[in-house]
């Protein structure tokens, strides 16, 4: 009878609690309480306890036996991202966000590889920004080009005919009357 190791099989296989307990007994570790994760000696395979605590998912750098990995083939699941983070350019396991300067340098480096139409658009935007450095400033309606608060006393309001009619009519008006006179006022204006 031929015995295949866990990694020799094609895809990771979900392990039962009993199988992991027997593995823990074999290596001489306690199985009560159950460990949330169990790293195998070669460090290329990790067993992770499911949230329902009924099975252990097998996690490798190339795959995982959890349902998320099955529903999203080719994309790393949360277990793979946690236990096998992708290395960065510097060879570290953590990807830090780029600063604005690094982003601009990266864009400058990749600009020649982008389509010519995009390069022309970037060149035109740069020339326009150099020609008028104040072009990004907001221009408001108020003096000095600044937006600000409105003084209610300076607002010139026009009284509505309907208000005058409501005061002068002497009887209760209905919504139908108000709608009629609003429409009438709009036609006259």
Residues 89-120: tens digit of each pLDDT: 444 445 567 788 888 888 888 889 989 998 99
Tell me whether residue 169 is in a domain: no
Other CB atoms within 10 A of residue 113 CB:
7
Task: Flag whether the pTM goes above 0.75.
Answer: no
Measure the CA–CA gap between 125 and 38, rounded to whole angstroms.
Answer: 55
User: Is residue 60 domain-shared with residue 107, that is, in the same domain?
Assistant: no
* Alpha-carbon span 141 to 148, nearest angstrom: 9
Residue holding tokens 């992708």?
86
Whether the predicted pLDDT of 9 surpasses 60: no
Element at 56 (helix H, strand E):
strand 55-60
> In this model, does residue 4 exceed pLDDT 60?
no
Whether residue 180 lies inside any domain: the answer is no
24 and 69 both lie in a single domain: yes
Domain membership of residue 76 (yes or no) is: yes
Angle of the 161-168 helix axis to the 175-188 helix axis, nearest 10:
140
Of 83, 118, 139, the residue at which a domain comes to its end is 83
Number of domains in the chain: 2
Domain range for 55? 14-83
Name 80's Cβ contacts closer than 8 Å, sequence gap at least 6. Answer: 59, 60, 61, 63, 64, 69
Q: If you average pLDDT over each of 23-32, 33-42, 58-67, 85-94, which comes out highest?
A: 58-67
- pLDDT tens-digit map of 60-88: 888 899 988 888 887 888 888 888 887 54
Q: Are 46 and 83 in contact (CB under 8 A)?
A: yes
For residues 178 and 162, give the distance between their C-alpha atoms in angstroms, rounded to a whole number: 7
């Amino acid at each position: 009878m031929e015995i295949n190791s866990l990694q020799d099989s094609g895809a990771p296989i979900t392990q039962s609690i009993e199988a992991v307990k027997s593995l823990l007994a074999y290596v001489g570790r306690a199985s009560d309480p159950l460990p949330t994760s169990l790293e195998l000696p070669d460090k290329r395979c990790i067993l992770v306890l499911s949230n329902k605590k009924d099975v252990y998912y097998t996690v490798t750098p190339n795959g995982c036996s959890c349902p998320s990995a099955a529903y999203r083939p080719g994309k790393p699941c949360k277990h793979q991202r946690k236990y096998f983070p992708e290395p960065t350019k510097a060879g570290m396991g953590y990807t830090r966000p780029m600063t604005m300067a690094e982003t601009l340098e990266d864009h400058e480096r990749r600009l020649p590889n982008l389509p010519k139409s995009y390069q022309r658009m970037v060149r035109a935007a740069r020339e326009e920004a150099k020609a008028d450095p104040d072009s990004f400033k907001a221009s408001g309606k108020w003096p000095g080009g600044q937006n600000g608060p409105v003084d209610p006393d300076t607002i010139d309001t026009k009284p509505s005919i309907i208000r005058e009619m409501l005061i002068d009519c002497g009887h209760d008006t209905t919504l139908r009357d108000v709608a009629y006179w609003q429409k009438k006022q709009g036609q006259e204006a």
